[in-house]
Structure 1
Amino acid sequence: MKKVSIGIISLLLIMSLFVLPVKSGASSNLVLASVEWVEKVIAGVNGEVTTLKNQVATQKSEIDALKSRIEALEKGVGSPTPTPTPPTTIKFPASFTTTKNNVTIHSGATTSYRVVQTVQSTGTTLKIIDQFTSSQGLWYRVEINSTTFGWVFSGNVLYKGDAAFSKVVTKTVANVRKGATTSYDTIARVSVGTEMKYLGQFRNGSGEIWYNVELANGQKGWILASLTELK
């Protein structure tokens, strides 16, 4: 913007020298007036450039501060809850009990997620099916019922032991497969309400939980957990 303004001003100044009558006194006055005008314009442009530089510097400082805050959150700096030491081995699903009143279960693994349920009494047994370590520490995934799940902070619950689940019951028509992904071949197709022996579970690379089951005929396979419930 500065270079364009100076170029236009210079061009007008040169043109005025050729167009106006040639009178030494008048020409000198015109040149002096033109120079003063150009200097004022340049000073104004310089002032605008300085203002823009200051604004850019302020915005850069704000961006750097935001970056530092994001990095701190990602590292868990200033987390309101400590990270407890988890049990050495947990076979999910497992039983946990609440260690205080009004324990909140969230839709995600931090307190910033909405509360889906509040467990009011200490010692309430919860069915835990998975775990995840977020910026706020270790969280456990809770199966509230066959269609509702949530996350509870590990510091608010106590490991009770492996849950006594013995069977898997289908909630819809489902395939039992040779492995714990849909890419494996189907060994059986079961109807709603089919009961199978529960053998264990596995979380695959896509984050899906699959149950290892035994059919009534003795065949063993895998079924997607979201299509079933444990009993």
Structure 2
Amino acid sequence: MTGTDYTLVIGDKNYSSWSLRPWLALKACGVPFKEERVQLRQADSKAEIFRHSPSGKVPALKTDIGIICDSLAIVEYLAEQHPEAKLWPTDREARAAARSVSAEMHAGFQALRNDMPMDLLSELPMPELSEALENNIRRVVAIWQDTRARFGKIGPFLLGDFTNADAMYAPVATRFRTYGVKLERYGDDGTAGAYVGAIYAMPAMAEWTDGARTEMRERAGV
């Protein structure tokens, strides 16, 4: 399997947190891939997505064996196809931790998703802080501090080197910056703030952000 066989169907880079996740994983694999973007928040968005993805959602990865839907399924597939990228840590304990926190992000944090949607290029006020939202933020900070303390000595990411766990949490880092979250309020000792900086320092993240700016200019007809 070569990366030239991959086409990743994504939503708008400014808004689609789920699209960012496998996009970063593909970049970490270092393989070429094609992008197909479906503009979200349009009258025909759902119909356009169904043209590419049987789930009716983005992202979707087109491969030589068919279409893989869902961010977590895609990054799992990439880890299998490209073991050299070490998208899951080689250490058994670290790998178990990475999978656990990735699954938790995939399945949970509903208040964070609903109340602080991804809006990459904006600076927005914090929404009203419900108990559920505060608990979600506090839990993310705790995950980041725990994984960094246990496994992060060799690099700036959750498990040291970049893994699928970072792909899963990168959109949360953007939310914290968009909404100006005061992480110390949620128990951060500086670890979570530094991790947000590490995500934004990635060349791949800069490339995605540049793409978001281009798309927003296109939307505005500039």
TM-score under structure 1 length normalisation: 0.24
User: Larger strand proportion, structure 1 or 2?
Assistant: 1
TM-score under structure 2 length normalisation: 0.24
Question: Which structure has the higher relative contact order (CA within 8 Å, separation 6+)?
Answer: 2
User: Larger helix proportion, structure 1 or 2?
Assistant: 2
